[in-house]
Amino acid sequence: MPPAQAPEDPLSIVVSNATVRYRMHAFGQPTLGEYLDGLLHRRRRRSGVRTFDALRNVSLQVREGEIVGVIGRNGAGKSTLLKAIAGVLRPMSGAVEVRGRIVPLLELGTGFNANLTGRENIYLTGSLFGLSRRELAARIDDIIQFSELEDFIDVPIKSYSSGTVARLAFSLATDVDPDVLLIDEVFSVGDEFFQRKSMARMRRLFDESRTIMLVSHSLDLIRFQCTRVIWLEAGSIVRDGEPGAVIDAYRASG
């Protein structure tokens, strides 16, 4: 009898023919006569709406424990893909399914309430990640300590700098034991010392067999940390496979 094959890891992310379309208002360039007429009569310039497909019928599957890098030029659709998986954007067609607790490290601090304190925002945002108040109470001291905000945690975050808000968001998001972690260029959080701490924590997450999708322009980071790479261009997948082969093809294309 042939040897039994090991079962494949279950799927964590399934994207099926997903298209994300943006509507953009395009104003025509006025002639000099139209411009002067508008000034005299306070007429609004004619406007139109055009659409742009940031993702075009994208399909992919990610299994538990995979670390998938997403590469491509600016405007290729990388961040849009992660936002669609996170549920921040809803595809106009197709479907996205994610299994397990998902934590997006996208635009750090998005969703925080500026009028609430750092501590209150930990409880608010942590609940959106699916943690109970009891679970957050058990973790909050570690989150605050890692963020280095012990002296300011009970101050409304509207008085924080953008870098301080990002530190708090990073500390929270990486402490909640996600099943699926989405990362979009968040490795420059804080000063040099905090960045070293952040990278050490990220390496631990990489080593814990979590499902991770990582967007970065650092191709060396992608090559050495990821088990698979997806190359996007103009909203479509150009290539999907072994990191070295995909990265080498991407570099050769430029």
Please state the pTM of the whole predicted model. Answer: 0.76
Q: Does residue 191 lie in a domain region?
A: yes
Q: How far apart are CA 202 and CA 110, in angstroms?
A: 20
Q: Please report whether residue 210 resides in a domain.
A: yes
Distance between CA atoms of residues 81 and 77, nearest Å: 6
Spatial separation of the C-alpha atoms in residues 27 and 45, rounded to whole Å: 7
DSSP secondary-structure letter at 226?
A: -
- Per DSSP, 208 falls in state T
Distance CA 183, CA 2 (A): 41
Contacts of 56 (CB under 8 A, 6+ apart): 19, 234, 235, 236
Could you give the number of structural domains in the chain? 1
What DSSP state is assigned to residue 242? -
| pLDDT-wise least confident of 166-180, 192-206, 214-228 | 192-206
Amino acid present at 153:
I
Residues 215-229: tens digit of each pLDDT = 988 899 899 889 999
What's the pLDDT score for residue 104? 82
Least confident of 111-120, 163-172, 202-211: 202-211
Question: Rounded to an integer, what distance in angstroms lies between the CA atom of residue 108 and that of residue 189?
Answer: 9
CA–CA separation, 17 and 47 (whole Å): 31
State residue 109's pLDDT score.
63
Specify the CATH number for the domain of residue 216: 3.40.50.300
**Structural domain range at position 241:** 66-89+101-253
CA distances from 225 to 57, 127, 203, 229, 236 (A): 27, 30, 8, 10, 23
> Average pLDDT for residues 18-27, to the nearest whole number?
77
Instruction: Tell me what the pLDDT averaged over the chain comes to.
Output: 84
Question: Do the domain assignments include residue 11?
Answer: no
Task: Report the DSSP beta bridge partners of residue 70.
Answer: 215, 230
Please report which confidence band the pLDDT of residue 1 belongs to, taking 50, 70 and 90 as the band edges. Answer: very low
